[in-house]
A = this chain, B = another copy of it.
Amino acid sequence: MKRSERLVAMTHFILDRPRELISLPFFSGKYEAAKSSISEDLGIINKMFQHEGIGYLETIAGAAGGVKYIPQFSKESSHSFVSELCERLQDPARLLPGGYLFMSDLLGDPETTRNIGRLFASAFRDKEIDVVMTVATKGIPLAYAVASYLNVPVVIARRDPKISEGSTVSINYVSGSTRKIQTMVLTKRSLEQGSRVCIIDDFMKAGGTIDGMRNLLKEFDAELAGIGVLAEAEDDEEDRVVEEYLSVVQIVNADDRKFSIEVRPGNLLDNI
């Protein structure tokens, strides 16, 4: 196989396996090339991944070493993506009663969700994360996008138990904004003890739902590794029950009577 051909194959192979340690001898065997050539190839790939703003190859030295592709959105790409997102969201036609915002079109676009996944994976790149968790329904595509860049599984809590999932653990929680008591369930065999969990959701107001997921983690003796929400909205009526989190955008001054809204970048950009 020529170098040019090998580079195409290796680029695809590496992109498909983020955060996975791949050894030089493995590449050397797979593509029937000397380790020195593979090493040069990896240098080119690393240079170009950084040039394209999609991440870099981390080199782990030693006998058990190799390379790992760490997806990381560049500062420029992140900033331009988030400001474009703000502009798209800052449309009064999106306003729904209760200060909610119509976002299903964005959440339904695989390219947009993939980019949001890239953002969170970049911001959480130094955390040890074993699994991404969300609650049905709208956070699901975001959770998968993040998980695919972190190369970890997803678990989904639900608001209603389904017969087709086996035995579950359930908790009650108080919805922050409506003060209603709600239930959240997670299938028993879906989360291992001691797992380090990253919580992802689409929207946070007072944070009651996310607090519910946090309590669910305790039932599973799992650890919280990070919280990420796409949009956070102001909540005047009471204090946030969740403090440490990353948000992609912040919705301020949403007023469905005055038909006005303002959307700003959230605190996630500070962590890129």
Contacts and interface: CB of A to CB of B under 8 A. Distances in A.
Contact of A98 (B9, B104, B163): B163
A155 B8 contact: no
Interface stretch (A60-68, A75-83, A84-92, A145-153): A145-153
Contact of A154 (B13, B110, B153, B154): B110
Contacts of A155: 104, 108
Contact of A4 (B3, B52, B110): B3
One complex includes copies of this chain to the number of: 2
B163 A108 contact: no
Interface string A132-148: 00001110110010011
Interface residues of A, number: 56
A165 B104 contact: yes
Contacts of A141: 140-141, 144, 154
B164 A110 contact: no
A133 to B, nearest CB: 10
B144 A158 contact: no
Interface of A: 3-5, 7-9, 11-13, 15, 44-45, 47-49, 51-52, 54, 96-98, 100-102, 104-105, 108-111, 113-114, 136-138, 140-141, 144, 147-148, 151-156, 158, 162-166, 187, 189-190, 203
